[in-house]
Amino acid sequence: MTRVATDTLRGRMGWLHRWVGFLGGLVILVIFAGGTLTSFDTEIGRWMQPEIQRTTRIPLSDTLVEAARARVETLRQQGQNASIDLPTERDPVLRIRYGKADAAVKEALDPETGDALHARQTVGGQFFYDLHFTLDLGHDLGRQVVDCAGIALLVAIGSGLVIHLRSLFSDLLIFRPFAARPRAWMDLHVLSGILVLPFLISTAYTGVVAHSGAILPDLRGGHQPPEKAVSYDIPDLRPILAQAERIYGPGHVGSLLFGRNGVTATRADSATFLLMRDEADFSPTGELRRTVHHGDAVSISQQAFRGVHFARWVPLPLRWMYFGSGLAGAGLMTSGLILFLLRYRRTKEKDALFAVAETLAMTVILGFPASALFLLWMNRLLPIDFPMRSLWEWRSFFAMAVTVFTGALIGSFRRKSLFAWRGFLAWIGCLGLALPLLDSLTRPGWTAHLGANVFVAVDVVAALAGVAALYAWTRLPPGRQA
């Protein structure tokens, strides 16, 4: 173990904060940035399907419900496990969901005619959700890695608090962006950390609790055998929907699932602060069999944890606050990684391990925004009917990440890392600033939607990311280190 200079509590916590923060931060930053974008996963998904231009939800028509029923029936005959996602304020079209859970197809139907809207296949905003949830490492391993990273974040927060406890409030008023580089980064690190401290603690803790079973398994073992399957034709869904709306309220039915022996209507996640997952089970002939309500104290506390973390209930202003807090948290982690590099650059710059550390930090800090923006670009540049389109979008994200990693590796080992930092910052600047132009050139009827909508919001955020990258590029003139 590295010897600490002074064996005090602050010294020990400083060592712990530095190393857990850096090693964990390389993973946590990706999870956190992915989670920040997941705040608007539905909206990003809509941006990625510009063929669907409806912006407001209209009441379900009989034609639409019947068309959805017929489509599900067809898919079931083809051996697909299909379900119906009902329109919401955030996604105002009905969607038929089928395929594998991690690569589901979400087919949209026209709200008036019930015809399939021929929108492009895309990974959608779900991509960022999966990245946040499992880092694309698979359901089990991914959740374990993400949970461990969450624990590391809690340790980093706890040790950081011990270090800065004495000057917690005075640091809140200090930010010197034009001071010496380490001072400026430290100010940003402390200020962003204090400002979003409650958000950081609550999201980290609730996130780990929500999937704590991945690292602290429930030891009961054994699973209930699946219910006996009954072959049935999908019944008329209108009475089922009407009854479900009487139970959960108008517009608060989330989806219709077609199980082995009947239909299940679930309560919409957005219906309440608690992520309840209540459901009403119907027989194959459409009669209500039972309702399931998780109302005991333990379930409610779990629903509250999930409600805080998943934020499916939040109105738009609060959703932007989640997004802003996520960005501040990402800023905190970015500044932490850079402070680590600054600390060791003077003494360890010639070490191979330092080059590895800088490569990984650069890959995470610049690779994520570059890859996310590149994914949006490829979403619009790939032809609509391109074979395996979603897969190619997925590949484009990771291809860009590998490109940044390779550039960072070469730059760091040839001791020209500044060149790589500047190059990728400029690249992000170009991708972000030009995205609104790409959107206007590739979105049908874009002039009809110049108000506040998902397209404009994504374009503006991308452009701001580009401006921020170019500003960082100007603050990093040739000859200076990050």
Partner 1 sequence: MLIAVITLAYATSWLVVADFGHLTHPPRRDDFLIGQTLATALIPLSILIGFGWRRDGRGVIALTAFFLAALLTWLWLK
> What is the DSSP code string of 359-392?
HHHHHHHHHHHHHHHHHHHHHHHS-TT-TTHHHH
| 8 vs 170 by CB, closer to partner 1 | 8
Give the up-direction half-sphere exposure of residue 248: CA atoms within 13 A in the CB hemisphere. Answer: 26
**At its nearest, how many Å lie between partner 1 and the CB of residue 162?**
7
| Residue 290 interacts with partner 1 (CB under 8 A): yes or no | no
- Please identify, among the stretches 223-231, 238-246, 300-308, 422-430, the one whose residues bind partner 1 according to the rule CB under 8 A: 300-308
Q: Rounded to the nearest 5 degrees, what angle is found at the Cα of 435, between the Cα atoms of 432 and 436?
A: 120
| Residue 333 interacts with partner 1 (CB under 8 A): yes or no | no
| Residue 162 interacts with partner 1 (CB under 8 A): yes or no | yes
| Residue 151 interacts with partner 1 (CB under 8 A): yes or no | yes
**At its nearest, how many Å lie between partner 1 and the CB of residue 161?**
9
**At its nearest, how many Å lie between partner 1 and the CB of residue 278?**
17
**At its nearest, how many Å lie between partner 1 and the CB of residue 13?**
6
Exposure string of 418-438, with b = 16+ CB inside 10 Å and e = fewer, is bebbbbbbebbbebbbebbeb
- Please identify, among the stretches 1-9, 75-83, 119-127, 472-480, the one whose residues bind partner 1 according to the rule CB under 8 A: 1-9
Tell me the CA distances in angstroms from 415 to 41, 253, 418, one per residue in order. Answer: 39, 58, 8
**At its nearest, how many Å lie between partner 1 and the CB of residue 150?**
8
| Residue 13 interacts with partner 1 (CB under 8 A): yes or no | yes
CA–centroid distance for 204 within its chain:
14
Task: Give the span between the Cα atoms of 390 and 189, in whole angstroms.
Answer: 37
Tokens, residue 75: 């898919």
Task: Give the span between the Cα atoms of 68 and 91, in whole angstroms.
Answer: 16
Among 5, 6, 7, 225, binds partner 1 (CB under 8 A): 7
**At its nearest, how many Å lie between partner 1 and the CB of residue 171?**
21
By the 8 A CB rule, do 278 and 267 touch? yes
Task: Give the span between the Cα atoms of 348 and 360, in whole angstroms.
Answer: 16
Length of the chain, in residues: 482
By the 8 A CB rule, do 336 and 189 touch? yes
| Residue 16 interacts with partner 1 (CB under 8 A): yes or no | yes
- Please identify, among the stretches 154-162, 350-358, 423-431, 463-471, the one whose residues bind partner 1 according to the rule CB under 8 A: 154-162
| Residue 5 interacts with partner 1 (CB under 8 A): yes or no | no
x/- binding map, residues 218-237, to partner 1, per CB under 8 A? xxx-----------------
Residue 228 burial (C-beta neighbours within 10 Å; 0-12, 13-18, 19+): exposed
The SS3 call for residue 422 is helix
| Residue 209 interacts with partner 1 (CB under 8 A): yes or no | yes
- Please identify, among the stretches 93-101, 203-211, 230-238, 354-362, the one whose residues bind partner 1 according to the rule CB under 8 A: 203-211
**At its nearest, how many Å lie between partner 1 and the CB of residue 110?**
43
**At its nearest, how many Å lie between partner 1 and the CB of residue 361?**
21
Binding site for partner 1 (CB under 8 A): 1, 7, 9, 12-13, 16, 151, 154-155, 158-159, 162, 205, 208-209, 212-213, 215-220, 296, 298-299, 301-302, 305
